Amino acid sequence: MQFPTITDFEIVDLRFPTSEEAHGSDAVHVDPDYSAAYVVLKTNGTHAGHGLTFTIGRGNEIVCQAIRSMMPFVVGKSLAEIQRDRRAFWRSLAQDSQFRWLGPEKGVMALAVAAIVNAVWDLEARVAGKPLWRLLADMPAEELVAAIDFHGIRDAVDEDACLAMLRANDATRAERIARVEREGFPAYTTSCGWIGYSDDTVRARCREGIRDGFTHFKMKIGQSIEDDVRRARIIREEIGPDRVLMVDANQRFDVQQAIDWIKPLAPFNIWWFEEPISPDDVLGHAEIARAIQPIRVATGEQCQNRVMFKQFLASGGMQICQLDSCRVGGVNDNLAIMALARRFGVPVCPHAGGVGLCEFVAHLILVDYIRFNPTMDGRVCEFVDHLHEHFVDPCIVKGGRYLAPQLPGYSGEVKRASIDAFRFPDGPEWIKRAGTRTAKGVAR
C-alpha cells in the first residue's frame, strides 16, 4: 500500500437549479438550489480524495472560501501522518486556535471541515481499496476510538465506554457485514412530499414509491394546516394503513404551535414529527416529545456538533437521531454521534437528500449498524431520488433498501462533465440562466 502526500487541491462552487421544479421545497426552504462546496485533494500518488458539503444555494461561495482558508492545514500532509493520529488531524481543523473563534464547531466552519474530512476519508478508503463503510467495519476497535474526539461528551461516552460498546458488538460483526452485503439497509422516501408539489404529483410519487418497494414515506408540513391535512389524507389513501408516514416541519414552529399543529394530523398515524422547532431548542424538543407521544420527535440534520447531540439525546427531545454526513465536521464527529445514540438507546435514521448526502449516508448507516447500533429494527435511512446521475459512484436503492456501496472510496466524486456544466457562476448551465433569474437567484 502506498501512502501518498496531499500536494494540491481544487475547490468548486457547484450548484444545481433545483428550485425551478420545487424539488427539495419545504415550509422554510421554499426555493433551494441544491449545491455543494466541493473539494478534490490531489496527491503525489495515483489517488485523489473527493469530498463535499451540502448547501442550498446562496452562500455556497462562503463555504468554498472557508475550505480554501483551511487548505494550509491539509496540503503537505501525508496520509500516513494523518492516519497515525486521526483525532489530532481532525482537531487541527475543527479546533485551530484562531479559526475556532468563527465557530467553534458550528456553522460555515463545521461545513467546511466536513468537506475536507470527507475528502480525506475518501482518499484513505481509495488507498485501502475498500468502500469507506468496509474500511470502518474492518477497523480495529482501538483505532476507531482513536479517530473520535470525545472532548465535551466524556460525561456521556468516554474512550473506555466507546471501546466496550464496540467490543460488545465485535463477536457478531461478521454476520452484520454479510447481512448488509446481502440485503442492504432499509430506506425511506421523501420524494412524495415536497411542499411545492401539486396533489396529482404527490399521488404519482406515492405510487412510484410503492412500486419501488418503499414502506416508509415522509411529507413536508407547515405552510397551511388545511393543505397538510389534505395531503396527509391523499398520502394515506395511496400508501394504505400499513405503510409508515412521517412528517417534517423544517423548524417552522414555536413549541406550542408545533404541539397544536400535529393534533389534526395525528389521526393519519404519524411515526415521527421531524424538526418541529428551532434546531437549537433542546428544552422545546423535550417538551414537544412529552406532549405528543406516542408520536416521536426526530431531529439532527441541523444539529451543530456532538456536544449538542449529547444535550438533545440526554433531554429526551431527540427520539430519532438524524445525523447529517456534512453538517458536523464529517465522518469523525458522526462516529461520536453514533456512540452517543447507542449510549442513550436512540435509533439513528440519517438525514439525506440534497446533493451527495445519500451517497455518504449509504456508508454511514452501515458503519452505525455494524459497529455501534446492531439492529435494523425501527431504523430507516432517508432517500431522495435527485441528482444521483452526477456522481461517479451513485448510491443504489433497490426494493426500498440502500445497497452496500462496492467501489473503493466514499462515493462523493462528481463527474467532470457535471462540474464543468454546473460550476457557479460560470458554468454554461448558469450562464444561460443569468438573464432569466432574479439578481437574488444568480449573484452576478
Active site residues: 220, 351
When the beta carbons of 124 and 248 are compared against Mg ion, the nearer one is 248
Q: Smallest gap, in angstroms, from Cβ of residue 275 to Mg ion? A: 5
Residues forming a β-bridge with 209: none
Residue among 278, 287, 340, 352 nearest 314 (CA)? 340
Q: Smallest gap, in angstroms, from Cβ of residue 28 to Mg ion? A: 10
Q: Measured between alpha carbons, how far is 366 from 245 in angstroms, rounded to an integer?
A: 23
When the beta carbons of 147 and 341 are compared against Mg ion, the nearer one is 341
Question: Which one of 114-122, 123-131, 200-208, 248-256 is the stretch in contact with Mg ion (CB under 5 A)?
Answer: 248-256
Q: Smallest gap, in angstroms, from Cβ of residue 99 to Mg ion? A: 28
Residue among 397, 319, 328 nearest 358 (CA)? 397
**HSE-CB for 245 with a 13 A CA cutoff:** 27
Q: Measured between alpha carbons, how far is 209 from 262 in angstroms, rounded to an integer?
A: 24
Which residues in 386-413 are b (16+ Cβ under 10 Å) and which e?
bbbebbebbbebeebbbbbbeebbbbbb
When the beta carbons of 248 and 287 are compared against Mg ion, the nearer one is 248
One of 13, 33, 149, 248 touching Mg ion (CB under 5 A): 248
Residue among 326, 321, 352 nearest 337 (CA)? 321
When the beta carbons of 122 and 248 are compared against Mg ion, the nearer one is 248
When the beta carbons of 122 and 228 are compared against Mg ion, the nearer one is 228
Residue whose beta carbon is closest to Mg ion: 248
Question: Which one of 126-134, 143-151, 208-216, 242-250 is the stretch in contact with Mg ion (CB under 5 A)?
Answer: 242-250
| Cα dihedral 105→107→110→112 (10° resolution) | -150
Question: Which one of 142-150, 229-237, 246-254, 428-436 is the stretch in contact with Mg ion (CB under 5 A)?
Answer: 246-254
Question: Which one of 14-22, 64-72, 83-91, 247-255 is the stretch in contact with Mg ion (CB under 5 A)?
Answer: 247-255
Question: How would you class 89 by CB atoms within 10 Å of its CB: exposed for 0-12, middle for 13-18, buried for 19 or more?
Answer: buried
Question: How would you class 220 by CB atoms within 10 Å of its CB: exposed for 0-12, middle for 13-18, buried for 19 or more?
Answer: buried
Residues forming a β-bridge with 218: 246
Count of residues binding Mg ion (CB under 5 A)?
1
Question: Which one of 5-13, 39-47, 134-142, 240-248 is the stretch in contact with Mg ion (CB under 5 A)?
Answer: 240-248
Contact string 267-296 vs Mg ion (x = CB under 5 A): ------------------------------
324 counts as binding Mg ion under rule CB under 5 A: no
At 115, list the grid cell. 468537506
Site residues (CB under 5 A) for Mg ion, limited to 86-105? none
Q: Smallest gap, in angstroms, from Cβ of residue 108 to Mg ion? A: 20
Q: Smallest gap, in angstroms, from Cβ of residue 142 to Mg ion? A: 35
Q: Smallest gap, in angstroms, from Cβ of residue 357 to Mg ion? A: 11
Q: Smallest gap, in angstroms, from Cβ of residue 350 to Mg ion? A: 11
| Cα dihedral 435→437→442→444 (10° resolution) | 30
Biggest distance spanned by C-alpha atoms of the chain? 61
Question: Which one of 162-170, 181-189, 245-253, 406-414 is the stretch in contact with Mg ion (CB under 5 A)?
Answer: 245-253
In order, the DSSP letters of 75-137 are TT-BHHHHHHTHHHHHHHHHT-TTGGGG-SSSHHHHHHHHHHHHHHHHHHHHHHTSBHHHHHH
Q: Smallest gap, in angstroms, from Cβ of residue 250 to Mg ion? A: 6
When the beta carbons of 228 and 248 are compared against Mg ion, the nearer one is 248
When the beta carbons of 248 and 393 are compared against Mg ion, the nearer one is 248
When the beta carbons of 126 and 296 are compared against Mg ion, the nearer one is 296
Residues forming a β-bridge with 15: 35
Residue among 287, 338, 283, 288 nearest 312 (CA)? 283
Which residues in 263-280 are b (16+ Cβ under 10 Å) and which e?
eebeebebbbbbbbbbbe
Site residues (CB under 5 A) for Mg ion, limited to 334-363? none
Interacting residue ranges for Mg ion, rule: CB under 5 A:
248
